[in-house]
Structure formats: structure tokens, C-alpha cells
């Protein structure tokens, strides 16, 4: 006989408090305090100069982050949106261009395309809840300049397919790693334009394998032409606000620097002539402050520990519910590379999703439906009202009316039916690293209890 559900008056399965999903934010402590106080004590608040000459925290963050991801360059900026816009500008996206973006991502991924004066083309996601390579290729036109490949909810895209399609059609790849910092991907196809050889032998752990030049595994943000990370407070590691650009291409790095700092403080000679065509042009101010960089610098050192704890927690929960009939899980393109920030379950039918989620919440479990038509959520394209209606800041309607584009783009709330079908059957449970084994076991117990009664 099934135990009475809490939503029907029974006892809760989980009696401990729900831990906020601020993985790095909940770990802020002495390390961050030390770095910030050092900045204040030195009065060195701006990365390029101060009353006395001190090493820049922002510059050290860039060096440490590039080493972490395994790229030649990292550029610290003031947000992930800034990182995306700088990346788009760096690869030459501008008026008349189209950029592909998945229909399940935070609105900023699409807004950044408009910020670069280009047109977002919304693409379906598949059962991994990341961009569907088949629809991606189907939507490439002679106007397509790039694709933003979002590693949504902490899990890698199908990078083998994405890189192969991009190479075939000559478009640029920008990885949006906002929600998946530290995740990895193991390439299956060596002939994808990434110059990856056969896997190395004898590697003892992840970091040693990542440093092996023959390895096919690398961190997310190390595959695309240029890539964007977030340090916003909800993310795995955080400085409250902030972003980072990574690339192996020195010219793209220079161009991203040029756009993010219109004062050209980054140049060896600020006022010198361009060293090559396209190096210097008017930009904006997306610079990161030393205080932000100090917090981020301490957080980077904590990343692998946070990932290990989230992965252990997710495995503990999933192992206890994987046998439940009628319950399936989001497909992972690379299970080992998943950052494990969330557990996504598919209901057999969308009609049960809301009721199942409400029952889990009554059991004390912080579960959420991913898509509800009646609840605005800027992670789902159907709620991007100001894009669907092509709203612009001025009456001229740019970039939609740009003569360089010369086309009519049409959006609608039902333009990506597969995306809405997957999301309407999806329930997510966040996996904070601060959860205990008891927390995990009670979550698993609650899922089993609800599934036993409703599936």
C-alpha cells in the first residue's frame, strides 16, 4: 500500500530545509574576504593602475581561468551577456547576419545577438534539452554567421555534431557555458575541426587527462571559436556579477578586448596604429573591477570541489529512483561531463507534470516544472515576448529592418513544438553541493513516494 502523499495530508518525505541553489555563493568565506581586503588595503580598484603598482586580481583571474579551461586566452568582463556580445563582435557578427540560438536558454543568449546588431534564429532542443543539431543545420541560411551552443542546465551539448555542422557550413561556434562552468566533453569524432588526436593512455585523473595534449576530453568552453561564461550569483562559481571570454585564437582575443574596453587600456600602446586590420575599433566598457575579480579568483579555486559534491549528490539520488516505471531522465550527451547542478525527469505525459511537481513540493522537495504556459520564464523562448513581437529600442525597428538583412524573420510562440513538448513534460530538482546524504536520501524517498502514487 502506498504511503499517503503530503499533498493529501500525509507526512513529508523530506523534513530538512531546502538549500538555496547558489553553489559558490553559499561557500563565500575567508578566501574571498582575504582577496577583497587585499584589494582595499592596496587601494588598487582598477586593473590597469592605482596609487601604487600592484599585480591585478583580474589579470590573475584570467590566467587561472585560461589554465582551468585549457585555452590560450581568457578575458574577464562584467557579465556573461557582455561576454557573449564581445564574442559575437569578435567573430565578425553584425548587421545582416543571423545567429542560431536554442529555444531553451536564458533570454540573454538571444538578446546578445540583438546587441551585436544581428538577428536571432531560434532552434529546437532535443531530449538532452540542448540545441538539436538536426534543426540547427536545417535553419542555416546564407545569412548564418554563427551558432550559440548553450550547455543548458549544466550539461554539454552534442559538440561532435555541432562542430561538424559548423565546419561543413563555415559558421562560427560560440559556447555559452553560463550554467556549466567546469563541465567537460569527450569528443567522439576526431575529424571535427578541433585538431584532437587519439586519447592519451595512462592518465590517472580528470585534470591529468585534461592536460594531456592527446586527450579527446576537455573542459566546456574549450571547443568553440570563442566562448562565454557567467559569474552571476546563481551560477556554479560567482562574484555576484561578472563574465569571462575564452578562446585559442589571438585575433579573436584582441577583438574581444577591443570591444570590451573602448579606452584601449589593454593595448601595449593605447594610441598606436592598429597592428593589423580589424584590431582596433570603437567599443564599449565591459571591464571587470578588481573587487569582482578578487571574489572570482577565490571562487575558481573552489570549482572542482563544488562539482565533485554535486555529482556525488546527483548520483546518490538518481541511483535510488532509476528503476521507477514511467519515469525517464533527460538524455546526457556526455554523462561524465555533466556538472550535475540539476536532475531533470520527464513525465510520461504533460498533463501530469504540474500535479507531480506540486506533490513533490508538498513532500518538502524543491521541484519545478520547466515550462508552464501561464508562468513567464525567460529561459523558454515562448516567453520571449519582446523578441517574438520584434520590439526594438527605437521606432526604426533595427536590426529587424536593417537593409543589410533584407529579409523578414517571423517568430511565434509555437515555432519550436518539440522544445515545448519536451519542456512541458520536464521537472527539475536542483542539486546544491551543500546537501547531505540524508537530504539526498529523503529526496529520493519523496520521488519514489510520489511516483508510486501517480505513475
pLDDT score recorded for residue 152: 98
Q: Which residues, listed in sequence order, are joined to residue 427 by a DSSP beta bridge?
A: 345, 369
Residue 404 within a domain = no
Radius of gyration of the chain (CA): 23
Q: Buried (b) or exposed (e) across 66-105, using 16+ Cβ within 10 A?
A: bebbbbebbbbbbbbbbbbbbbbbbbebeebbbbbbbbbb
The reply to whether 27 falls in a domain is: no
The predicted pLDDT at position 191 comes to 57
pLDDT at 201: 33
Residue 111 domain flag: yes
298-321 pLDDT, tens digit each: 999 999 999 999 999 999 999 999
What residue numbers bound the domain in which 221 lies?
36-302
Q: Look at residue 21 and tell me if it is in a domain.
A: no
Residue 227 within a domain: yes
What does the pLDDT read at residue 279?
Answer: 87
Grid cell in block for residue 53? 603598482
34-45 burial, b at 16+ Cβ within 10 Å, e below that, comes to: ebbeebeebebe
Q: Kindly give the parts of the chain with pLDDT less than 70.
A: 1, 190-214
Q: What is the pLDDT of residue 147?
A: 98
Distance separating alpha carbons of residues 412 and 398, to the nearest angstrom: 19
* CATH code, 130: 3.40.640.10
- Among residues 239, 238, 256, which one has the least CA distance to residue 247? 256
Residue 205 has a pLDDT of 62
Give the per-residue pLDDT at 372.
87
Distance, CA of 183 to chain centre:
10
pLDDT digits (tens, 9 = 90+) for 117-163: 999 999 999 999 999 999 999 999 999 999 999 999 999 999 999 99
Count of the separate structural domains present in the chain: 1
- How many residues make up the chain in this entry? 455
- 9: in domain: no
Residue 315 lies in a domain: no
In a domain, 110, yes or no: yes
Question: Rounded to whole angstroms, how far apart are CA atoms 255 and 247?
Answer: 11
Amino acid at each position: 500500500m502506498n504511503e499517503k502523499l503530503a499533498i493529501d495530508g500525509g507526512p513529508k518525505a523530506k523534513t530538512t530545509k531546502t538549500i538555496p541553489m547558489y553553489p559558490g555563493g553559499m561557500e563565500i568565506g575567508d578566501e574571498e574576504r582575504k582577496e577583497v581586503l587585499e584589494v582595499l588595503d592596496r587601494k588598487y580598484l582598477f586593473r590597469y593602475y592605482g596609487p601604487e603598482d600592484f599585480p591585478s586580481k583580474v589579470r590573475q583571474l584570467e590566467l587561472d581561468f585560461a589554465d582551468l579551461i585549457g585555452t590560450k586566452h581568457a578575458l574577464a568582463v562584467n557579465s556573461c551577456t557582455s561576454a557573449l556580445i564581445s564574442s559575437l563582435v569578435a567573430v565578425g557578427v553584425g548587421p545582416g547576419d543571423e545567429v542560431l540560438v536554442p529555444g531553451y536558454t536564458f533570454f540573454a543568449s538571444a538578446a546578445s545577438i540583438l546587441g551585436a546588431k544581428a538577428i536571432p534564429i531560434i532552434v529546437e532542443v532535443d531530449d538532452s534539452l540542448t540545441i538539436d543539431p538536426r534543426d540547427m543545420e536545417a535553419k542555416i541560411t546564407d545569412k548564418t554567421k554563427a551558432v550559440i551552443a548553450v550547455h543548458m542546465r549544466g550539461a554539454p551539448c552534442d559538440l561532435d555534431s555541432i562542430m561538424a555542422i559548423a565546419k561543413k557550413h563555415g559558421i562560427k561556434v560560440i559556447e555559452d557555458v553560463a550554467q556549466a562552468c567546469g563541465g567537460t566533453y569527450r569528443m567522439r569524432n576526431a575529424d571535427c575541426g578541433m585538431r584532437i588526436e587519439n586519447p592519451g593512455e595512462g592518465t590517472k585523473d580528470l585534470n591529468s587527462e585534461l592536460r594531456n595534449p592527446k586527450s579527446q576530453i576537455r573542459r566546456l568552453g574549450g571547443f568553440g571559436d570563442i566562448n562565454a561564461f557567467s559569474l552571476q550569483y546563481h551560477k556554479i562559481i560567482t562574484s555576484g556579477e561578472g563574465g569571462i571570454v575564452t578562446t585559442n585564437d589571438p585575433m579573436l582575443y584582441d577583438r574581444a578586448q577591443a570591444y570590451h574596453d573602448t579606452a584601449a587600456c589593454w593595448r601595449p600602446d593605447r594610441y598606436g596604429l592598429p597592428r593589423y586590420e580589424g584590431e582596433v575599433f570603437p567599443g564599449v566598457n565591459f571591464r571587470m573591477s578588481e573587487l569582482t575579480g578578487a571574489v572570482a579568483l577565490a571562487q575558481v579555486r573552489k570549482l572542482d570541489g563544488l562539482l565533485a559534491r554535486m555529482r556525488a549528490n546527483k548520483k546518490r539520488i538518481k541511483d535510488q529512483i532509476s528503476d521507477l516505471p514511467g519515469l525517464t531522465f533527460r538524455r546526457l550527451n556526455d554523462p561524465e561531463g555533466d556538472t550535475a547542478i540539476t536532475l531533470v525527469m520527464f513525465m510520461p505525459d504533460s498533463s501530469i507534470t504540474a500535479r507531480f511537481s506540486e506533490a513533490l513540493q508538498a513532500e518538502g522537495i524543491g521541484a519545478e516544472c520547466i515550462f508552464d504556459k501561464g508562468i513567464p520564464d525567460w529561459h523558454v523562448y515562448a516567453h520571449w515576448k519582446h523578441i517574438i513581437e520584434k520590439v526594438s529600442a527605437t521606432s526604426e525597428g533595427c536590426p529587424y529592418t536593417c537593409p543589410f538583412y533584407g529579409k523578414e524573420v517571423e517568430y511565434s510562440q509555437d515555432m519550436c513544438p518539440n522544445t515545448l513538448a519536451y519542456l512541458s513534460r520536464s521537472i527539475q530538482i536542483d542539486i546544491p553541493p551543500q546537501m547531505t546524504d540524508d537530504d539526498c536520501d529523503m529526496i529520493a524517498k519523496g520521488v519514489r513516494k510520489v511516483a508510486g502514487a501517480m505513475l
